[in-house]
Structures are given as structure tokens and as C-alpha cells.
Homo-oligomer: A and B are copies of this chain.
């Protein structure tokens, strides 16, 4: 997809790492990209879990970060729900229902968004605190950047959301 100054822009900050919220964020991003808009998603804090590889090395990390990494499992298939998580029963039930309604899961949504040219940015300010290095994230992240990059994009965008 051609990127130019004349395309209307959209930014979505993905702060939350919960499956349901992340799905909403991707659906908006995909809808906007399908409508010919230029979409940027900025993953920060818990949202970084979406970009995490399923298995991440804990080498060279301190004990606090290891505990945190253990609690805060990432990867598109391991996201909790914002309500009725019930130790994983909720997401399992929702995935079954989604399958029945032919709704794509987070991994599929991510691929579709990438195919449509949605730009994925990992927030460098929060990666450290979340115990994540570049090697812990999936290979096809488009950019590692901070808030100034976001502001530049959002300032000229038609739609800006915080999820």
C-alpha cells in the first residue's frame, strides 16, 4: 500500500494487554486500513505483550524482572481478558465462541493488519520496565520509538485512540 502525505492517518495506542481490548484495537486498525487510511499502532506497557515472542529468554535479567516476566506471560495466544478471566477459563470460552462466529483471533488479526500495511511501533520508554529487550519481540515490528514519534503522527491524524 502506497504511503503518502495525502492519506488520512489513524493512531491507536495499545496500552492494555487484554485479549478483548486488543481485538477491538486491531479491528479498528484493520477497518481503517481497509478504508484507505494510514494506520499506526503504538504498543506500550501491557500492550507490548502482543508483540512478544511466545518464549522469551530470561538471560541477563535481574530477579525482579524475572518474576515480572513470569507473572506477565505474553504472546498473542496467552492474553487474559479484561473481565471474567477466571484463570484462563474466560479466554478459552471466548476463543470457542469466536471460532463459532468465524471471528479471527489476535494472531490472525495481527497478520491481517500487517498485510494491510499497519505500522507497528514498540514503545521504547516502557520496554525496559516491562523486562523486554528487542530480542524478546517478534521480528516484524516496524519501529522502536517513543512518545515524540507518536505525537508527530497523532498531531496530523484524523483519528487518535487510546485502548
Taking Cβ atoms with an 8 Å cutoff, the residues of A that contact B are 8, 13, 15-17, 20-21, 24, 27-28, 30-32, 34-35, 37, 44-46, 62, 64-65, 67-68, 71-72, 82-84, 93-94, 96-98, 100-101, 103, 125, 128-129, 131, 146-148, 150-152, 154-163
**Assuming the A-B contacts A97-B65, A151-B32, are A20 and B45 also in contact, with contact meaning beta carbons closer than 8 angstroms in the complex?**
yes
A101-B129, A155-B159 are known; give 16 further A-B pairs, CB within 8 A. Answer: A15-B20, A16-B82, A17-B83, A20-B46, A24-B44, A24-B45, A27-B147, A31-B151, A37-B151, A46-B83, A64-B96, A68-B84, A68-B93, A97-B128, A103-B125, A161-B161
Partner of A128, one of B72, B96, B101: B101
User: Can you list 7 contacts pairing A with B, beta carbon distance less than 8 Å?
Assistant: A31-B147, A64-B93, A68-B84, A97-B131, A103-B125, A161-B161, A162-B162
Q: Closest residue to A68 on the B side, CB-wise?
A: B93
Complexed CA–CA distance, A46 and B18 (Å): 13
Partner of A158, one of B16, B129, B154: B154
Residues of B within 8 A of A8 (CB): 155
Q: A-B pairs with the 3 shortest C-beta distances?
A: A31-B147, A101-B128, A161-B162
Residues of B within 8 A of A147 (CB): 27-28, 30-31
Residues of B within 8 A of A82 (CB): 16, 46
Complexed CA–CA distance, A7 and B71 (Å): 43
Q: Closest residue to A93 on the B side, CB-wise?
A: B64
Residues of B within 8 A of A96 (CB): 64
